[in-house]
Every structure is written in C-alpha cells, then in structure tokens.
Structure 1
C-alpha cells in the first residue's frame, strides 16, 4: 500500500503568516509533481505552492483565509507508487505568480517595495468594494471606511486582512514622522474619486486588474504621494560602450554570454553609488526621529515587464560580480519573471533600481521611486545625434537618462553630480577600474 504523508508549506523566504487566497485541489484529486496546490499572497505578488510529489489528495488541512508560514500543514497525500520522496519543507520551492496567472517583463517604473510593507491606503475613495457582511461589520466596529481600503481578495473582494493592513498602515504613519503627512497643514484633503456611469456615454468593456497590478498600483500611489520626487535628466555618450558590447556579442561572448546594456548600467550604477553613498540608503526611524540608513551592500533591482504587470527582480551583491555574471543573472531573472517563477527572495532587499525602456522607445520619463529606496534610474532608447567635437559635428550614440530622487535625503547638486559621474563611466568604461 502506498505511503500517506503530511505535506507542509515549504520555505517561503522571510515571509510569515501569509493568507491563503485559493486552494487549488480537493480530496480525491490526483496531483503531479510540481503541480500547484494552493496560492498564497504577499504584499508583492501571489505565490503558488507546488506539490513536492505525485499522488492523490486524501484531506485538506486549511481553507481560504487561513494564514500559514513555513512548516504549516497543507494536506495529506497518498504517494504514487513511483513517486520520489517528499522533500523537506526547507528545500521545496515556491513559484511567485503575480496576479491573474502569470507575471510581466521589464521597464517603466518601479513596483513592489524592496522590503515588506503594509498594504497601502487607496487614494481613490468613494467606490464600495465587494465584501461579506462579517467583513463590513468588522470594519464598522473598528471605524474603518471600506471605500478607502484596497481590496485584494479574489474578484476584487474585501478581506478581513485588508482592514487590518489599512489600520497597520495608518499606525505606521503615525509612528514614523518621515512617513506621516503633516496633519496641521491639512494632509491630503482630497475630493472623492468621481463615480461615473461610463455606460451612459457608449459601449464599454470591464476588465479585471491582475492581482499584481492592484498591489503594485497601490504601492506606486503611496510612493508618489508620500515621497517628494524630483527628477534630473542627463545624456550619456555610449558610442564606444555600444561598439564594445556589440563586439563582445559578435565574438560569441565568454561562455556564450549575451551582453546587454542593462548589465553595463548596473555595474556603472554600483560604482556611482559607491561615490555617492547617500543614494544607496533608506530613511529609518530611531526613537521617533528620522535617521538615514546607509547600506554597505549593493543589491540592484531592475524593472521587469510581464504579462500581468511590473515586477522588480534584484541582482544581489552586484559590486562583487562581473558584467558577464550580471548579464546572465538578469536574463535568468527576467525569464523567471515571465514564467511566474520569481520567489520572495528574488524581489527583496534592493538598494537602488534601474528601469529601462530602451527596448521600446521614448525620449525620457520620470520613474517613481521604489520605496524604501531613495532614488531610481530610468533610461530610454539611445539614438544617434550630431555632437560638436570642437572642430565639427560628429555622429554619436546618446543615451537619455532620468534620475528620480527623494528630496528628503538628496539635493539637486548631489543628483547632478551623480548623473555626471555615471555619464562619464558610460562614456569611457575604463574609468570603472579606477
């Protein structure tokens, strides 16, 4: 007779007490190895928990709405006769699946924050979300206006956890002067969001937002409202760098590596962050006073566009890696993002973000800072321009760059010097060895 085993939640990184938003199997179902069993949700994305073995589901140990951590019982499984042993909870993998089903690739602006934060408050009040009577009663008991809460449940449903996150977020803002708006100055006294019946004016189609867009959208709204953004623009002459990059790829690259401009940008950004450490920092709080946390590590995120929205994978310890290794890791993380395989550890701990629209186009944009970072670099498509060399005009390949920075930490002079330093490195990459 085949063995019956208890299947537990595997290693899910630093996350604890994640809500179960969907149970994908029921007793009697036959499951294959690596088939999703249930879906959990962090503040960045949803995560499918795969089966560590093939077999038949005997019983389910949890339900939608339960909160689980590593080692929590999920179900009991009657092992298939030829199934491999169940891996321990610490070694099983979790697939990160941003909203809907899949995720998205690379560019535009930053999304989920680099460290777990409470679900933010919606800036578009006035629309009542779907919610059960018990959830509405819970909100009334705590004095929470449900129209101001971001609903993250399936089909846009308001969950009890959404109410709790709303309250936690409000408490964080009260406890942290660096985040709380100045109530004496009125704070954000916004008008209600217009509630328009668009069908009165013509034919419409309603399309549900993916889960990752709902979560990242709320994070972006918070970052844009709470951080005093300023954006500096600069151009870098990458004529020589691009010729070098093309040459490396024509030669087949070392070990078949495909060298991308993003890899060079990340390496140059690290060198510039070392020269200007305040850009590699975060605002913190100590004894009720804001403090600047200067980081001695360099984990660089890059915005990745996927079918369901933007995600930000992180290249860890980029200062200790060569351009080839960075290029390989960027490619692997981008593939994982498109396939919905990013785990929590792949998207946390970032200290600075690069957002590239180079493969799409444009001449410039203002990227939104990826809190709790204090700056983000945006680049668009390079183009040939006539540049005066002292005796005449010469064609040069020019890369537009935009640096958004937090004015609570950085000033305009420092931002201008940062971009000048970065542009000099990109114009002559030999400088990076100095």
Structure 2
C-alpha cells in the first residue's frame, strides 16, 4: 500500500521550508522513522522522518525546492506487515468505538441537543447563507467570464461545519464561512479560522498599497528571491512594528573597567572553549536586571487583557549570518556564570552561522540583545521581537573625555538603545531599567551584590 510522507509542522509559525538535501533514492528500502529529506526553515534545519518501513517508490521534490507544510515529498510502498498491522489497529479501533457508542446513549442525547441548538442558529442564518450563496454564484460567473482558469473558490453547496458562536462571529466580521477551510476536528471551522481569514483579507488590502513601479523604465535592474530567513524576518518585523507601540530610550555607560576585566580574564575563558565578550557580560547583567524589573520579562495578551509574567530568564542573542539575522536563545541565563555564558554564546553563534540550529534553540526567549558594536555606529533603534516586550541594542564604544575628581579623563563610553512596548512598560520604568544597566556596567560587583 502506498503511503505519502509529507512536510510536518516543524515549528510554530513556520509555513514553508526549503529542501536542503534528499537523503534517500527511489528503490531504497527504509525503516520507520528513517530520515528521507533534510529541510531548512527560517528558524532552523530539520530532518523529515518516514512514517513507516517500506520501499521508496517516488521522490516528489528536488533539492532547493520551496515546499509548504503538508506537501508530499516521498511516496512510499509500505511493507505488507505494516499494512496488516494498520488494518488490524483500524478494525480494533472501529469495534471499540462501536462498543462505546452502544454503551453511551446519554452522549447521543447530548449530541441531539447540540444539533438542535445549531439548527436553531442555522435557521437564523438561512436567509444570510442564501444571500451569500447567490453573491458567490454571481461572483464566480463573473470571474469565469474574465478568466476561465479562476475556479479555486469553494462551492456554495459544500456543507459548513461551525458552531452557533462561530457563525455569529462570522456574521459580525462579514466573513463567508463557505470560503474557509476548517482547522478543527473533522474540518470544523473555529473562531481562530474566522479571525485569521479576516486578518488575511486586511493584509491583502494593505499589500495593494505597496505595489512598486516598474524600475526598469529608468535603468538596468536585477531581482533575487528572498530566502526563508529574510521572508520570515520581513513578516515578523512588519507584524511587530504594526502591533507594538514602541518607545526608544537611550543611554551611555562607562565600560573602561569592563574592558580591563575582559583583557584580564580572556585567556581563562578561551581555555574553556569560549570567548569573553561584552555580549556575554551584558547577558549576565540583563539576566539579573530582569529579576529587578519583571515587566521586561513579560508578554502582553490583549485578547484576554492579561500580563504574562515569566519566572524563567531566557535571552535571545542576535546573530548575523550570510542568510540573514537569527536570534537563538540562551536558556536560564540567570543561573549561569559569565564563563559558561561565554562558551554557550560562542557555540550557539557558530551553529547559527552554519545553519545547524535546532527548533528548541530558537524558541522560548523573553528578552533580546542585539550588539552592533563590532560593525560601528553611534546608536540605533531595534524593533521589539514579538511576543517579547523589550530589546537592548549595543553600538560601538568610543573614547570620550569624562570629568572625574576635578579633571577630564579619557574613558570608553558605550551607547545603549532600549526599545520597549509602551502598552506594558511606562517611560519611567524604561528609564529606570536602562539606568540600572548603565550602573551595572560601570560597577558590576555592586549591581550583582544588590
């Protein structure tokens, strides 16, 4: 019996992947859970396992192809034993369901009540549905006249499975349920399906405003496809910028002492396999600050009107790679020494650059740090990484005269940029947070002691 091996939901929010390597060939005999292809997403790389043992009948993709979640990559001729076992399991499950159904008449009564409630609501919707069916039919006819190939809309005769509450929401949002594919059990349409459809309609409307002119009219051009990382960054940053009311706070810290500390202890950290950097020290300082300022370690749920305070400290570290910006996560940063953080940051940065990050290493961050000091610049305004509420930007330190004890002294001054979500964090709290970071950089011993 032929079986289809499909691209799974590799991680939350990932809709597409690039086939980076095909690991089997047609005619190969493979085992269950054996990897058949390797894929690359905007977040990580992963292998797609076989769902059964058998022989590879057909490979449906090529290396470099961009495929959607659910796309078939391999056709497998499953072993006969697998088929027999599956049939036995299916038969056993069917018998069990029949027996349970016979023993539970009260469930049927409950289902009758639910159907009655839905029927009552459907009666209210009958006129509306007829109107929608008529409009859908007219629109379909008009599209056929304009373009005979435009036949992808759902037929109005298809049965819609949705609860009364979902139907009411659809009416309020002016969403035609017949255009939706339900994500619930047995294809049932959920509230989330209705809201997502409405949001996607809004995005399509906005995208029409972004239509670009034909630049080739004025000279030679070259076009290049965005890779998955770039596409995901564009989508996520647009969503973050549109949904989060940003406030930007700036500060400066004297890191002359920190630079001396790095020079003194660098060799010790290198022997442990890491590199002592300002980023690793700042990660420890920020982790301590998040205990002092818990709102910076939170997320906001506007739908439930709740603030989610997290009891763990996970920090994203932005890493520039050839394919784009990645932000792997340092888990439980507050529980690790500066030496341990230095080793882990060096390891995870190398994984990011070589495309070997796992999904787990990309998920669960609460706060982000982006250090552009190695490149240059005096300040920048980083965008908050949703669903976080803040990000700290680091620019290049420069030598400045500082008035100390009646005279000017040359000191190494580091520019800091703090971006935060004004829905949750007030300006006074934002200023207090960046001031705490400044003092901790200037006198880390006192900050860590307190």
Same fold (TM over 0.5): yes
Q: CA deviation at 1:15?
A: 5.4
User: Which residue of structure 1 lines up, in the alignment, with residue 261 of structure 2?
Assistant: 244
Name the SS of the counterpart of 2:320 in structure 1.
strand
Bigger-Rg structure (1/2): 2
Find the partner of 1:384 among 399, 422, 427. 399
Distance between the aligned counterparts of 1:263 and 1:395, measured in 2? Answer: 25
Q: Secondary structure at the match of 1:377?
A: strand
Change (3 A) 1:363 1:20: closer
The counterpart of 1:224, out of the listed 221, 241, 246, is 241
Whether the 8 Å CA contact 2:9–2:69 is kept in 1: the answer is no
Displacement of 1:41: 6.6
> What is the rounded CA distance, in whole Å, between the counterparts of 1:248 and 1:168 in structure 2?
53
**Conserved in 2, the CA contact under 8 Å of 1:382 and 1:400?**
yes
**Partner residue of 2:328?**
313
CA distance in 2 between partners of 1:249 and 1:77 (Å): 57
Asked if 1:433 corresponds to 2:433, the answer is no
Q: Does 1:38 align with 2:37?
A: yes
Q: What's the counterpart of residue 214 of structure 1?
A: 231
Superimposed CA distance per residue, residues 173-229 of structure 1 (whole angstroms, 9 cap, x where no aligned partner) = 98xxxxx9xx9xxxx978712431111101111111111101111110110111101
1:52-63 correspondence to structure 2 within 5 Å: 58-60=56-58
SS at match of 2:210: coil
Does the CA contact (< 8 Å) of 1:36 and 1:48 recur in 2?
no
Match of 1:324 in 2: 339
Give 1:358's match in structure 2, choosing from 343, 348, 373. 373
Q: CA deviation at 1:273?
A: 1.1
**Residue 67, structure 1, aligned to residue 65, structure 2:** no
Q: 1:428 to 1:169 in 2, by over 3 A?
A: farther
> What TM-score, normalized to structure 1?
0.66
Q: Choose the corresponding residue for 2:295, options 254, 275, 278.
A: 278
* Aligned equivalents of 2:148, 2:313: Cα separation in 1: 46
What's the offset of the Cα at 1:45?
3.3
Structure 2: gaps of 5 or more residues: 62-66, 80-146, 157-180, 183-190
Aligned pair 1:203/2:220, yes or no? yes
Checking the alignment, whether the CA contact within 8 Å between 1:230 and 1:404 is kept in structure 2 is yes
CA distance in 2, matches of 1:41, 1:253: 31
Maintained 8 Å contact 1:281/1:292: yes
Measure the CA separation in 2 of the matches of 1:386 and 1:58: 70
8 A contact 2:15–2:68 mirrored in 1: no
Q: Does the aligned pair in 2 maintain the 1:379–1:400 contact within 8 Å?
A: yes
Residues in 2 aligned to 1:249 and 1:9: alpha-carbon distance in whole angstroms: 48
Q: 1:284 to 1:66 in 2, by over 3 A?
A: closer
Deviation at 1:13, TM superposition (A): 7.5
Deviation at residue 256 of structure 1 after TM alignment: 4.9
TM-fit CA distance, 1:425: 0.6
The answer to whether the 8 Å contact 1:20/1:67 transfers is no
> For residues 273 and 289 of structure 2, what CA distance do their matches in structure 1 show?
28
Once residues 170 and 201 of structure 1 are traced to their aligned partners in structure 2, the CA distance between those partners, rounded to angstroms, is 44
Contact 1:37–1:48 (8 Å) recurs in 2: no
For residue 346 of structure 1, what is the aligned residue in structure 2? 361
Task: Tell whether the 8 Å contact from 1:258 to 1:327 is kept in structure 2 after alignment.
Answer: yes
SS in 2 for 1:310: strand
CA–CA separation in structure 1 for the residues paired with 2:37 and 2:212: 35
The alpha-carbon deviation at position 171 of structure 1 amounts to 1.5
From the superposition, tell whether residues 48 and 401 of structure 1 become closer, same or farther in structure 2 (CA, over 3 Å): same
Give the distance between the partners of 1:77 and 1:264, measured in 2 at CA. Answer: 54
Output the CA distance in 1 between the equivalents of 2:418 and 2:155.
45
Quote the residue 1:410 is aligned against: 425
Matched residue of 1:235: which SS?
Answer: strand
In structure 2, the partner of 1:289 is 304
SS in structure 2 at match of 1:67: coil
- Residue 337 to residue 68, structure 1, CA distance change in 2 (3 Å): same
Highest RCO, 1 vs 2 (Cα 8 Å, sep ≥ 6)? 1
Do 2:287 and 2:334's aligned partners in 1 also have CA atoms closer than 8 Å? yes
Q: By how many angstroms is 1:58 displaced?
A: 3.2
| Structure 1 residues without counterparts, runs of 5 or longer | 1-5, 79-132, 143-159, 162-166, 175-179
- Count of equivalent residues: 333
1:14-163 equivalences under 5 Å are: 22=19, 24=22, 26-28=25-27, 37-40=36-39, 44-45=42-43, 47-49=45-47, 58-60=56-58, 65=68, 67=70, 137-138=151-152
Q: TM-score, normalised by structure 2?
A: 0.63
